[in-house]
Chains A and B, each alone.
Chain A
Amino acid sequence: MTESSEEPGCDSLVPQTTRVPLPPGLRSRVALGLTAAAARGRFELQVCRECGAVQYPPREACHRCLSVLLDWKLQDGGGELISETMLYHSHAEFFREHLPLRLGMVRLDSGPTAIVYLHRKVPPAPARVKVDTRLDKGGHAVLVAVPGDTTKMADTDMADNGLLQW
């Protein structure tokens, strides 16, 4: 049991609790499937049960055949970095202390284009990358890309700047 100070007037001496900013946390319900898999250490995307098309961003129906039968399935994450940016300005408070941020646009071998956090060891576009999921500081899945020949994702160090959870 913690003893609380009962001294009158003490409250004003206690430092104000600082609100810790978090990354944007709003997600559609269907997008939470990405987080559910990421929490188990898996990179899963929706795959159409009817035509096999891989979907990203997460959605309610297949972009190719309109089937609503989409199953979350494990992805190998292979893809090509087709473009990148170094971001120096953010509209969200959380990111301001993490700028500049290296972001990439990856064409996954399975079809979709994904916007990802880009590991510093990934060479300039065009380059082979491997995409995986991490949880951000708000507990939501985000996609990260590391060099294509990376074998153990645990060897990468994307968590050491405080941007992502490990």
Chain B
Amino acid sequence: MTTSRRQGYEDIVVTVPVTVPYVRRSNHGAHWFVARALAGLLEAGGLAKSALDGLCLSSFTLAPDTAVGVTQHLGLSLRWLDHIPMGGAGAIVGLRRALRAVQSGDATVVACVGADTNQADTFRTTLGSFSQFAQDAVYPYGAGGPNASFAFLTAYYMRTFGARREDFGKLCVAQRDNALAFPLALFKKPLTLQEYLDARPVAEPLHLFDCVMPCAGAEAFLVMRRERAQDLGLPFATVLGTIERHNSFPDDPIQTRGGWVLDRDELFAQAGVRHADIDLLQTYDDYPVISVMQMEDLGFCAKGEGPDFVRSHTFTADGDFPVNTSGGQLSVGQAGAAGGYLGMTEALRQITGSPLGAAVPDARIALVSGFGMINYDRGLCCGAAILAGRNA
């Protein structure tokens, strides 16, 4: 496969991580959460609404609108607009699009937003029409949604690589510990490994605490030139490298790896860092098995060594391998497409020295990973970005 040398992002920065606090259910439409996110960006960024000339939006619950409808709904006049329907890869892909837009001069300030509501029936209705293949060949079989899909992947992974429920439980418990310090997490009670193991089955081998709780909320950040951020006095992060890949191993009978495998060498080469330089990892964690898969496929350990890697590391913010330091979706909640943004805003806060919860000591370089869209039997969109804080 030919690869091209990737141009860097030297003078473009990421700044102003914003979270619209999550709620279990909301009667507001998705536009409300987009509006709150944008208002938060402008306020924290010290920008007038008119300064925003680009928007990159991810949301599952805007229908019948897309990002286009949002511009009129919220009175935004833009010269650059993108809608990224890639679920858990939305923040990575959105970041990539926004970086190039600003770098090329097509836009000067781009807001990247993941936002979704969760009305009484939102989750169920979203599932039934998630994709053509899901509608035709998955949903009619018990309508289990992503729980069933990830149950297949988890069962296969456990059988093939010797992972045990305790391994996944260790990750979930560590993330809950992280969430207890994170004020915006919906889960506020400690979780013990025994409680994890004793939870009711949802789709074996998945049990209750392997599954995220759908909720409403938004996450967002701004992309602009470095000088602009400096003029505004904003703490920012630079982007050392990024990758994305879609439908990466179509001939694998079942998913045991994602597209990160194909691109991780380029990612680290572009970033000019080694794995040991990464101070914190934010995985896309709708189920713990996919977090373990990301640790493997991003090269922190070899394929199949994930279970041993989990057993030999600690994942709390003060641990030897901090992962999902806000608690991740498993303990903060999954606000639809905002779930793909959760790791990005958390990483930005950590490496710019402004964590809302527990701080990773001396955090300078973060790897944020995205994974999205179980179109049929596997997740199709993979992406990752390596970001550096001001002191890196």
Contact = CB atoms under 8 A, between A and B. Distances in A.
Interface string B265-293: 00000000000000000000000000000
Q: Top 10 A-B pairs ranked by shortest CB distance?
A: A85-B151, A92-B143, A57-B137, A31-B136, A83-B156, A107-B253, A83-B152, A86-B204, A101-B142, A57-B133
Q: Interface residues of B toward A: which range?
A: 35 or more
A92 B148 CA distance: 13
Contacts, number: 118
Interface stretch (B89-97, B121-129, B171-179, B340-348): B121-129
A95 interface: yes
Interface of A: 23-24, 26-28, 31, 56-58, 63, 82-92, 94-95, 98-101, 103, 105, 107, 113-117, 125, 136, 140, 142
Contact of B139 (A24, A86, A100): A24
Contacts of A83: 152-153, 155-156, 159, 254
B147 interface: yes
B391 interface: no
B239 interface: no
Contacts of B115: none
A28 B132 contact: yes
B135 A115 contact: no
B141 A105 contact: no
Interface stretch (B66-74, B100-108, B195-203, B309-317): B195-203
Interface of B: 123-124, 127-129, 132-133, 135-145, 147-148, 151-153, 155-156, 159, 200-206, 250, 253-254, 376-377
A121 to B, nearest CB: 18
Given A88-B201, A89-B202, A113-B253, A28 B148 contact: no
11 contacts: A84-B155, A85-B155, A86-B204, A87-B144, A87-B203, A89-B147, A91-B127, A91-B144, A92-B124, A115-B137, A117-B141
A84 B152 contact: yes
Contacts of B142: 87, 90, 92, 95, 98-99, 101, 103
A95 B132 contact: no
Contacts of A99: 142
A136 B152 CA distance: 22
B147 A26 contact: no
A87 B151 contact: yes
A99 B148 CA distance: 13
B155 A115 contact: no
Contacts of B129: 26
A117 B141 CA distance: 7
Nearest to A25: B140
Contacts of A116: 141
A85 B204 contact: yes
Contact of A24 (B128, B152, B254): B128
A114 B137 contact: yes
A84 B155 CA distance: 7
Contacts of A24: 128, 135, 139-140, 143
B140 A142 contact: yes
Contacts of B153: 83
B12 to A, nearest CB: 37
Given A88-B204, A89-B202, A103 B250 contact: no
